[in-house]
Amino acid sequence: MTGPGDATGLSAATGPGGSTGLTAAFTARRGAFTLDLALDVRPGRTLALLGPNGSGKSTTIGCLAGTIAIDAGAISVAGRVLDDDATHVEVADRRIGVVFQDYLLFPHLTVRDNVAFGPRAMGLGRAGSRDVADDLLRRFGVHDLADRRPAQLSGGQAQRVALARALAVSPDVLLLDEPLSALDVEVRDDVREELASHLEAFDGITIVVTHSLEDVVALARDVVVLERGAVTQSAPVRELVRSPATPYVERLVASWSDD
């Protein structure tokens, strides 16, 4: 079993210390739970954060997105410090987009206004924001739904809108929280494939948080395994599949290759 120290070792091997990417090495305590995490993602890359329930995935998202304060360590993106002993950049100023597990599309706004919300909040005018939204909705193939309310969308449609909304403000980092778990099993494979192609086109940093090895294999090149608040393996996806470091990953790989 490798520890967080080895994860840092890997990051040193794969990137130049995070001057252009995302570097996070921190500790966060929530009650009796302690999360110790070390991540390093290069621009244009997708990292998967794989872990079972209770492993600290949600805490990780909270810390990266800025809703949970870290207790020690640092988070920086493209050389800009978001968190350290002296700094805490507010959620609104972090430039980290999130696609939430249940999408959290604003129920009182149309699809178009959901996507235009970010640009407008950033100070772009009403017309300009609508243009940004219309462009993105067209690119994601959901422009015909622009005047609908989120409640009238299918799961796959809602996910595309959520992705468009998060990308509308061109974030440095895109966080996807269990992107496929809210979908029906029948459509999951199609949506996953489509999501992979959209992520391919995004040139920022992407982190996919998931408990599904299918998601990891389809969406990410590198993977960090999180168990009980600590990193147990940090490797390229192909290597993880070939040589799992813990029984948890072994089980996932075994049931995945059975399919």
Partner 1 sequence: MAPRRPRRAGFLAPALWIPAGIALALLALPLVALVVRAPWADLPQLLARGEVLQALALSLGTAAIATAVSLALGVPLALVLARSAEWSAVPRRLLRALVTVPLVLPPVVGGVALLLLLGRRGLVGERLDAWFGITIPFTTTAVVIAQVFVAMPFLVLAVEGAVRASDRRFEIAAATLGASRWTVFRRITLPLVAPGVSAGALLCFTRALGEFGATITFAGSFPGVTQTLPIATYLELQRDPDAAIALSLVLMIVSVAVLVSLRDRWVPGLTS
Structure tokens at 193: 């494939």
Cα separation, 247 vs 257, in Å, equals 15
Residues 247 and 244: their CA atoms lie apart, in Å, by 8
Question: Which 73-102 positions form the footprint of partner 1 (CB under 8 A)?
Answer: 90-98, 100
Q: How far is the CB of 217 from partner 1 (least distance, A)?
A: 27
DSSP string, 60-80: HHHHHHTSS--SEEEEEETTE
Residue 169 binding partner 1, by CB under 8 A = yes
Shorter beta-carbon distance to partner 1: residue 10 or 161? 161
Compute the least distance from the CB of residue 116 to partner 1, in Å: 10
Burial label for 94, CB within 10 Å (0-12, 13-18, 19+), is buried
Site for partner 1 in 233-252 (CB under 8 A): none
Q: Residue 109 region, left (φ>0) first, then alpha (ψ -120 to 50), else beta?
A: beta
Name the minimum Å distance from CB 130 to partner 1: 15
Q: Which is nearer to partner 1, 15 or 120 (CB)?
A: 120
Q: Are 193 and 201 in contact (CB under 8 A)?
A: no
Q: Which of 106, 125, 126, 152 binds partner 1 (CB under 8 A)?
A: 106
Q: Where are the alpha helices (DSSP H) in 33-110?
A: 57-65
Residues 110-149 that bind partner 1 (CB under 8 A): 117-118, 121-122
- Closest separation between CB of residue 180 and partner 1, Å? 19
Shortest gap between Cβ of 108 and partner 1 (angstroms)? 5
Please report, as ranges, the residues that interact with partner 1 according to CB under 8 A.
65, 67, 90-98, 100, 104, 106-108, 117-118, 121-122, 165-166, 168-169
